[in-house]
Amino acid sequence: MRGFIEGVEFPGQYRGVRYNGSARRAGRSARPRSRHTFPRSLNPRLSRLSPYPFERLRELFSGITPNPAKNPIALSIGEPKHPTPRLVLDAMTAAGSGLANYPMTAGAPALREAIARWLARRHGLPSLDPATQVLPVLGSREALFAFAQTVVDASRVGATVVTPNPFYQIYEGAALLAGATPYCVNATPEHGFVPAWDEVPDTLWARTQLVYVCSPDNPTGRVTTIDEWQRLFELSDRYGFVIAADECYSEVYFDEAKAPLGSLAAAHQSGRSGFPRLLCFGSLSKRSNAPGLRSGYVAGDAGLVKSFLLYRTYHGSAMSPAVAAASLAAWNDEVHVRENRAAYAAKFTALQPRLAAALPCPMPEAAFYLWAATPGDDAEFARRLYAEQAVSVLPGSYLGREAHGANPGRGRVRIALVAPLAECAEAVDRIVAFLRTV
Amino acid sequence: MRGFIEGVEFPGQYRGVRYNGSARRAGRSARPRSRHTFPRSLNPRLSRLSPYPFERLRELFSGITPNPAKNPIALSIGEPKHPTPRLVLDAMTAAGSGLANYPMTAGAPALREAIARWLARRHGLPSLDPATQVLPVLGSREALFAFAQTVVDASRVGATVVTPNPFYQIYEGAALLAGATPYCVNATPEHGFVPAWDEVPDTLWARTQLVYVCSPDNPTGRVTTIDEWQRLFELSDRYGFVIAADECYSEVYFDEAKAPLGSLAAAHQSGRSGFPRLLCFGSLSKRSNAPGLRSGYVAGDAGLVKSFLLYRTYHGSAMSPAVAAASLAAWNDEVHVRENRAAYAAKFTALQPRLAAALPCPMPEAAFYLWAATPGDDAEFARRLYAEQAVSVLPGSYLGREAHGANPGRGRVRIALVAPLAECAEAVDRIVAFLRTV
C-alpha cells in the first residue's frame, strides 16, 4: 500500500467477488448502479475489484471511539512522515515558468538522463540508454497499473498475472482491469516469506503473461535474492512472460553497506544484456519523502519501454515540467536519502527489539514496515488496539487473499514506522501494554 | 490535438491499420518487436493505433530545409503561447510543502468545490455537488482516455465508440485500446461542419457505448447547438450510450457576450436533472495558458463520476497538492481568462479577414484554429508552405479518417493562431504571398 487514505473511494456497492488463485469470475450482478440512470455501458471488469484495505479498515473501525485518554497514532498507512527536502521544493518553485508548455509523454530528456545515471550508480550497471531504457512516470502506482494494460493480451485463453501474496492491491486491480486472472503465490513465515514460486505449476506459468515482484517487499520487508531472480529469469525465458519489479522501497534500508539488490543489477550480474522482458519500477515517494510529487520511473527492456511509451501517449500522463525539475534535483542528490535512511534506522534499531519481545516481528531487510504475528485474529487485534490504545495498524489479512487453502496475511498486522521516533516509540509501548491485556 | 510535439513517440513500426468507420481489424503482424527479445505478452490492441498527426507531419517535413531567409513560425501545434498567469505560479510555489503527503485520487475537496462553483457560474447551473458530480483530472487527454476504459464493455458484440471526423486522435486511441471499434461521423463544410449525426444508422446507435463530442470543436471551431445536444440526449436515452463532451476549448472565444454553450448547460436547459449519461471534460491548458500544469476536470452524471473514480483509484493519476493549489487559484480567477480571450480576439479579428481574402477560412465561433480550405492537396500545401515560407500548418487529412467515401479533413489545413499577434500576422502574410505562387 502506498498509504492512500481515500475516504470517498470504493463505495459499498463496488465490492468485487473474491477469487482464490483460480479463474472464478464475479457475476455481473455486482455491477454498480447509479441512482438516477444506469448507463448500459460500463466496463464489467470494474465489478471484479475488491474493496481496498483502507476501506476495509475504515469499516472495521466504524463505530469505535478510540480511547479518548490517548492521542491517536496511525501506523496503518505507509505514508512517509519525514519532511520533503528543501532542495526538491526549491527546484519545483524555480521551474514554475515551464508550465506554459506541453510536456512530452516521454519526459524531459534531462530527467531521463538523471534517472539513467542514478540507476547505473545505484545498481553498479554499465550505462543505461536514457532514450530507450528509461521513462519517467507519475509515481509507481500509475505505472504498475498502466503497464499491465500495455502488456496483457486478454484475448489469449487463460490470461494470467502472477502476484505475490500478500501484496500491493494495485497488482490485482491492474490484472483484473486488463482482463487477466490474478494468481497468488503465497509468502509464509515457514519459508522466510519467500513467495513459493516453485509451487506454481508449469501449466500456470505457460499461461502467465506478467509477474509482479515486490522487492523490498511490502509488507514483509524481504529482499529478493539473486538466486530467486535467476529462477524467475529462467522461467521468463522459458515461458515468455514479462516481469514487473516493484522497487519503490529500494532506498529505505538500515545498513548503508547493504543496499538491497535490484532487479536490473540481478539481470546484469546474470549476464542478461538488455534486461530481456524485465521492467523495474521506482519512485521518489519513499526515497525523497515526496509522495505528493507523484514521480517515479520505469527502466529496463527497451522493447517494453517502447511499447509502454506508445500506450502512455494515449494514457496521457505526461509529467508537469515543474514536477520534472523537482524530480531531477531529487535524483541528483543522495545526502537527503542517507539522512532519511538514518532516521528509519534509528527507529527500527530502537523499536523492533522492543516490540519483538512482546509480539513476534522479524527485523525487515528493508522498507519501513514491521510484519508482526498477532495472538489470534488480526482484524480483531487491530480493532481492539485501536479502541483501547488509539493506535491503528493494518490487519494483514486485508493485504492477502485466500489462496491454496490459506490467506498468508492472516494472523499478522502491518505496522508502518513512518511517524517520528518518539511517536513510534509511544505506539510500541502502547502495543506492549495492550498485549498484557489480551 | 493538444499540441504535443513528441519526437520519440509513435515509432514507425507501430503503424496501425486504417479503418473506415467499419470493424476491420489490424492483423497481428503489425505487433511491435523489440530488437533483442520479444515478450509473448503484448496487448494486441496497440497494433491498431494510427500514427499521430505530428508524427506524420514530421515525416512530411523530413528532408526539407525551410527557407533559410525566414525565421520558422509554427502554426501547426495547438499549444498556447500566452504566458501562464503569475497567480497560478505563485499558488504552486506556496503549496510546495504539501508534497510530503499522498494526494487522494478523488482530489482535494477545496479544488472540487472551486471547480463546481466555477461550472455553476460559467454555465448558469444550479449548484453542482462537488462530492459526487466533479473530479479533478490530470488534463483532458488523460481523462478522455481513461473514461473510455471505464465505460466500454468490450465483451458486448460490436462495441462501438462514435467520434466526430475530423477529431482529436485520443478519441480513436481510447476506443481502440478499450476494445471498441471507432465509428466516424463526418463534419463537412457543406453542412456547416455539423457532424452528420442523423446519417448514423439505428443499428449502429444500438451498439454504440460512448459518443465523443468536441465543442468548441477542434479543428473546426464550431460550437454544438442546443438542438444538436437535445438530439444527442434523445439518442442517448433511447440507446443507453454515454456522452463524453470534450470542452477543453470552452474558454477561448471572441465575444465576451457570447460564451459557448456547454453540454451541462444544454442538459440543464433541457430539464435533464442529474446530467444522465453525460460527462463533460474541461482543462486549464487553454483557459489559463498552463498546459504544463496538467490539470482539468470532469463533471456530470454522479454514477459515471463514481465509476470513473473507482477506475482512477487503480489508474493512479492523483493530482500533486502543488498542482491542485495552482489549479484552485486558476479556477477562482476570471481576470486572466478575459485577458487571454482579448489577446485571441485581437488576433482573429485582425487576421481571419486578411487570410480569408486569399484562402477560404470561416471565422470560428471559438477555440484558436482557422480551418482553411487549400487549393489542391493539403499535405502538399503544408509541405511547400514549410519549404518556401518556413511556416508550418497541419494537414487536415491527418486529423480525419476515410469514412463514408471521404476524409473530411482532406483539402483543409489547421492553422493555430497561438503565437503572438505580430508573429501570426507575419505568418498570414507569408501564406498570402505563398498562395500567389501556387
Residue with the three cell numbers 500548418: B393
Residue B45 corresponds to which cell in the numbers above?
A: 490492441
Residues of chain B with Cβ-Cβ distance to A326 below 8 Å are: 99
The whole-chain average pLDDT of chain A stands at 90
SS3 B12: helix
pLDDT of residue B35: 35
Instruction: Answer whether residue A19 shows pLDDT above 60.
Output: no
Sheet containing strand A242-246, edge to edge, reads A134-137, A296-300, A278-283, A242-246, A208-214, A160-165, A181-186
Segment B347-368 shows an average pLDDT of 97
Are the beta carbons of A34 and B306 separated by less than 8 Å? yes
- A62: buried, middle or exposed (CB in 10 Å: 19+, 13-18, 0-12)? exposed
Mean pLDDT of A175-197: 97
Question: In A, which residues are within 8 Å of B172 by CB distance?
Answer: none
Chain A nearest CA to B265, separation (Å): 19
Nearest residue on chain A to B109, alpha-carbon basis: A8
Among B75-84, B251-260, B321-330, B339-348, the range scoring the smallest mean pLDDT is: B75-84
pLDDT, position A78: 87
Nearest residue to A4 (alpha-carbon basis) of A78, A84, A80: A78
Burial class (CB in 10 A: 0-12, 13-18, 19+), B329: buried
> A411: phi > 0 → left, psi -120 to 50 → alpha, else beta; which?
left
What is the number of other CB atoms lying within 10 angstroms of the CB of residue B411? 19
Put simply, the chain A residues between 380 and 399 with a CB less than 8 A from any chain B CB are: none
Query: pLDDT tens-digit profile of B280-312?
Result: 999 999 999 999 999 999 999 999 999 999 999
**CA B16 to each of CA A15, A196, B28: distance values in angstroms, whole numbers, following the listed order:** 37, 41, 10
User: Which grid cell is A78?
Assistant: 505507509
**Which ipTM value was assigned to this complex?**
0.89
- Give residue-wise pLDDT tens across range A337-394: 999 999 999 999 999 999 999 999 999 999 999 999 999 999 999 999 999 999 999 9
Task: Say whether B322 and A317 touch across the interface (CB within 8 A).
Answer: no
Interatomic CA distance for residues B36 and B29, integer angstroms? 18
Question: With an 8 Å Cβ cutoff, is A32 touching chain B?
Answer: yes
CB A16 within 8 A of CB A48: yes
pLDDT grade for A271, boundaries at 50, 70 and 90 = very high
- Higher-confidence residue of A289 and A18: namely A289
Please check the confidence at residue A118 and state whether its pLDDT lies above 50. yes
**Contact between A80 and A369 (Cβ < 8 Å):** no
Instruction: Report CA-CA distances (Å) from A366 to A84, A354, A417, B33, B152.
Output: 20, 18, 12, 36, 41
Q: Which domains does chain B have, with CATH numbers?
A: 12-32+41-83+338-437 (3.90.1150.10), 86-335 (3.40.640.10)
C-alpha cell at A85: 527536502
| Distances A157 to A181, B39, B157, B250 between C-alpha atoms, Å | 11, 17, 18, 45
Distance CA A284, CA A262 (A): 16
Mutant choice from A33, A37, A295, A301 vs B, greatest count of B C-beta within 10 A: A37
Kindly determine whether residue B96 and residue A89, on different chains, have CB atoms separated by under 8 Å: yes
- Residue type at B333 in one-letter notation: D
Q: Report the pLDDT averaged over residues A299-327.
A: 95
Distance CA(B89)–CA(B100), nearest Å, equals: 19
> Closest approach of chain A CAs to the CA of B358, in angstroms?
32
Strands B208-214 and B242-246: parallel
Instruction: Give A10's contacts in chain B (Cβ within 8 Å).
Output: 310, 313
DSSP A130: T
Distance CA B94, CA B356 (A): 46
Does residue B272 sit at the A interface (CB-CB below 8 Å)?
no
Is residue B271 less than 8 Å (CB to CB) from chain A? Answer: no
Cβ of A301 under 8 Å from any chain B Cβ?
A: yes
User: Among all residues of chain B, which has the CA nearest to that of A178?
Assistant: B43
Cell numbers that stand for B373 in this block: 480550405
Q: Using an 8 Å CB-CB cutoff, list chain A residues near B104.
A: 4-9
Where is average pLDDT lowest: A303-307, B87-91, B149-153, B395-399? B87-91
With CA atoms as reference, the chain A residue closest to B94 would be A93
CB contact under 8 A, B41 and A151: yes
C-alpha distance from A151 to closest chain B C-alpha (Å): 4
Give me the pLDDT at residue A167, please. 97
Q: State the average pLDDT over residues B385-389.
A: 97
Angle in degrees, CA B415, B419, B421, rounded to 5: 100
DSSP, res B248: T
**Angle in degrees, CA A305, A309, A315, rounded to 5:** 140
- Facing residue for B274 by CB, picked from A37, A290, A310: A37
Tell me the per-residue pLDDT of A51-110, one tens digit each, with 9 for 90 and over. Answer: 999 999 999 999 999 999 999 999 998 888 888 888 888 888 887 767 888 899 999 999
Chain A residue with minimum CA distance to B151: A42
| A27 in contact with B, Cβ within 8 Å | no
What stretch of H or E contains A310? helix A302-315
B8 to A174: CB separation less than 8 angstroms, yes or no: no
- What pLDDT is stored for residue B98 in this prediction? 79
Higher pLDDT, B271 or B87: B271
C-alpha to C-alpha distance for A131 and A289, rounded to whole angstroms: 27
CA dist., res. A418 & res. B157, Å (int)? 50
- Look at residue A95 in the predicted model and tell me its pLDDT: 75
Query: Alpha-carbon dihedral of residues A222, A77, A55, B302, nearest 10 degrees?
Result: -120
A302 contacts chain B (CB < 8 A): yes
For chain A, what's the residue count? 438
Q: Using the beta-carbon criterion (under 8 Å), do A320 and B274 form an inter-chain contact?
A: no
Q: Residues 280-299, chain A: which have Cβ within 8 Å of B? A: 285, 289-294
**What pLDDT, on the 0 to 100 scale, is given for residue B40?**
60
Q: Is the pLDDT of residue B39 over 80?
A: no
Report pTM: 0.90
Residue A92: the pLDDT is 85
Element (H, E) at B122: helix B109-123
Which range is least confidently modeled, A62-66, A80-84, A320-324, B221-225?
A80-84
Q: Note the pLDDT of residue B25.
A: 36
Whether residue A101 and residue B209 make contact (CB cut-off 8 A), yes or no, is: no
Return the residue in A48, A76, A133, A313 with the most chain B beta carbons within 10 A, the one to mutate for interface testing.
A313
- Is the CB of residue A317 less than 8 Å away from at least one CB of chain B? yes
